[in-house]
Every structure is written in structure tokens, then in C-alpha cells.
Copies of this chain bind each other. A is one copy, B any other.
Amino acid sequence: MGIDPGLTRCGVGAVEGAIGRPLTLLGADAVRTSPDDDLPQRLVAIERGIDAWLDLHRPDAVAVERVFAQHNLSTVMGTAQASGIALVCAARRGLPVALHTPSEAKAAITGSGRADKAQVGHMVARILRLDSPPKPADAADAVALAVCHIWRGGAQARVAQAQQDFARKVELARQARGR
């Protein structure tokens, strides 16, 4: 299952299959919350929505889009908070959780890490033999993450380990400098 975290629309997509075999879309949608509600309530709604998807599809693994602080400062905090919820929802069930960058997902699906939303949607539809891309775009992105995760397989596990090792070094260096 792939999760594209967001506060207003959190994309979720479940894909069945394995490397070298046809993949099947089990479902894709967005968990939506209203800007009219306050932040804690919106995060609780996202938690409930993701939990409902995990209950329904019982995935073997969950791939969550890695959020960066660099882009789109106005929404990045909400996106980061939603991604924290997604990671906890998966991890507290004991599911393996992988983080993929948007470029990794795009490159896996389209061959280019710089593909636009239309290209990603087009390739997601083609790979999964759909008449049209899942909607909204956040749902298509979540499906792309799920496909990326299946295809990257073992390579991803090694990349994740390297990223984790790097993050650990950064954190240890930060601690050594004082908070």
C-alpha cells in the first residue's frame, strides 16, 4: 500500500503483485480533511482514514512518500505531520515501512524522476491496465509509490538502510554539537 501524505488530501493506494508479474489495483482514493476543522481533528481524521485502509487491504508493506523541508513551505508542516501519522499507523501494526522520494517513485514508474503528474497518471493507468488514471492526483501518486515499492524490492531495503545510516550520522553529529 502506498501513502502520499497530505493534510487536505492524503492519497492511499493498494496494489497486489510482485516483480515480473502483472500488478493489480485493489483500490485508490484520498483521505480528505476540511480546512474548516482544526489541525488536531484533521490529523485524527487522517489517522482514522489510513487505519480503515489498512484494515481493509491488510497490506504486506507500506510505502510512504518522503517529505522534504525544502519545497512548498506553506503546506510542508501539515504534510510532515500527516506523514508522521502514516508512519505510525503502519509501524504500530508491525508492518515494514519504506520511504520513497517523489523522484524515486516517478523514476520507477516513468523512467524519469522529473515526470509531471500527467505522465505519472498515464503510466500508473498503463501499468495497472486501467481506462484512466486513479483520481485525485494524490491517489495516483500513492499508487505510484506502491508500484515503486514492489518493483524496487530488495534494492529499496538496501537504500533505506543507507539513508537510515546517513540520517543517524547527521543526528549524532547534531547531538555532538548540542541541540
A contact set with B: CB distance below 8 Å: 8-9, 35-36, 38-41, 43-44, 47, 67-70, 73-77, 80-85, 87-88, 90-92, 97, 99, 137-138, 160, 164, 167-168, 170-172, 174-175, 179
Contacts and interface: CB of A to CB of B under 8 A. Distances in A.
Taking the full assembly, how many copies of this chain does it contain? 2
A140 to B, nearest CB: 12
A172 B40 contact: no
Contact of A40 (B47, B73, B90): B90
A167 B70 CA distance: 20
Contact of A91 (B36, B40, B137, B164): B40
A88 B179 CA distance: 25
Contact of A69 (B44, B77, B82, B91): B77
11 contacts: A35-B168, A39-B87, A39-B164, A40-B90, A40-B91, A40-B97, A41-B91, A43-B91, A70-B73, A81-B84, A85-B88
Nearest to A48: B92
Contacts of A39: 87, 99, 164, 167
A36 B43 CA distance: 27
A54 B164 CA distance: 30
A44 to B, nearest CB: 5
A141 B91 CA distance: 28
A88 B70 CA distance: 25
